[in-house]
Structure 1
């Protein structure tokens, strides 16, 4: 074999080796990218499912539920296209079942009492994650600007209500302990929180109710009446428990304004 032939053979071997290495690297990159996409969509599904199951039932409107369902459906579709080794079919069936229940107004979720700073902080974290999810859906073009604005404004209102819920719970406890001045202060804090959503008629209704309650308690404090009398006049406390289920006020609320 002459020198030229040897050189050609060696060059061919080197070229083939380089091609094999490049193809191997491309396959590995494709595998890693696919795994990354699968993980991202699995995380997206789990986050939306967690928000749907853990945000207090009284906070979730049908619109918010359907946005979460939409995110879960999108994640499942992408996972199916990626042929992920996950129970995607089962997830899709479960998601469709919940969606039908929501559309048929048969999806009832239990309310959660916000009775500790820890619980208030946890619910706030869930709502902030929901806010980010809606923002992401808007930025990626999966929902329009009107839908995003309406729901983002409502979620922000819920964050304020979470803090107000805690203050109302504390106020009730102070009333039971006959610590009326502390109860008045707690209602002031609740009013301040709801006042942050001035463009929401539900929030303004709450502020008005808190002011009425504060006047009631101030009168009781000045007259030296006891706890039983204070509790008997607490119409606000009874209304607050069903605040987000007040259909008449919901009909009046226009979050697009």
Structure 2
């Protein structure tokens, strides 16, 4: 075997080795990228599912629920295309049933009391995550400008309402304890929070209601039976506030596109 033949054989071996190494690296990169994409889509699904489950029922409109469901559905479709070993078919069937329930207006989720700073902050974090999700859907073209703007403004309103909910809960507690000055201060804080959503007619309705309640409490002199009087007025405000997001008249008038 002459020198030329040996050189050619060695060159062929080197070439084949390089091809095999490059091919192996490409397969590994493809595997890693596929795993990364699957992890991302799984996280998208789980995040939307968590928001749907954990955001207080009184906060979620049908439109927000459908946006979350849409995110879950798209994540499952991507996972299916990537041949994920996760139970995608089961998830898609559950999503289909949930979507029908929402469309038929039968998805009745229990309201959650915001009765501690910890709960208020947790719900705020959930709403901030929802805000980012809607922003992401808008940036990727999954939501048009009008729909994105409307829902982003509504979520911001919910963030303010979360703080107001806590202040109202505290005010109620102060009234029960006959600590009227503290109750008035708590209602002032609630009014300030709702005032941050001035373009929302429902928020302005709340501000007006709080101001009325504050005047009622301020008008009570020491000679009055403050406990019974304040509880009577409080009962009315409690009912209005607890059904606040179910105001049909407001829903007809509200317009977030302005």
Equivalent position of 1:245 in the other structure: 246
By how many angstroms is 1:106 displaced? 0.6
TM-score normalised according to structure 1 size: 0.99
Equivalent position of 2:62 in the other structure: 62
Aligned residue pairs total 257
Spell out the pairing of 1:78-97 with structure 2 (5 A cutoff): 78-97=78-97
Equivalent position of 2:178 in the other structure: 178
Equivalent position of 1:158 in the other structure: 158
Equivalent position of 2:204 in the other structure: 204
- Partners of 1:19 and 1:221 in 2: how far apart? 91
Equivalent position of 1:145 in the other structure: 145
Matched, 1:133 2:133: yes
Question: Considering only aligned residues, what root-mean-square deviation do their CA atoms show, in Å?
Answer: 0.8
Unaligned runs of 5+ in 2: none
Equivalent position of 1:230 in the other structure: 230
TM-score normalised according to structure 2 size: 0.98
The C-alpha deviation readout for 1:46-103, integer Å capped at 9, x for no partner, is 0000000100000000000000011001001100000101000000000010000000
- Partners of 1:196 and 1:123 in 2: how far apart? 18
- Partners of 2:12 and 2:246 in 1: how far apart? 76
- Partners of 1:62 and 1:256 in 2: how far apart? 18
The C-alpha deviation readout for 1:157-180, integer Å capped at 9, x for no partner, is 000000000000000000000000
Equivalent position of 1:25 in the other structure: 25
By how many angstroms is 1:226 displaced? 2.4
- Partners of 2:69 and 2:80 in 1: how far apart? 16
Matched, 1:195 2:195: yes
By how many angstroms is 1:225 displaced? 3.0
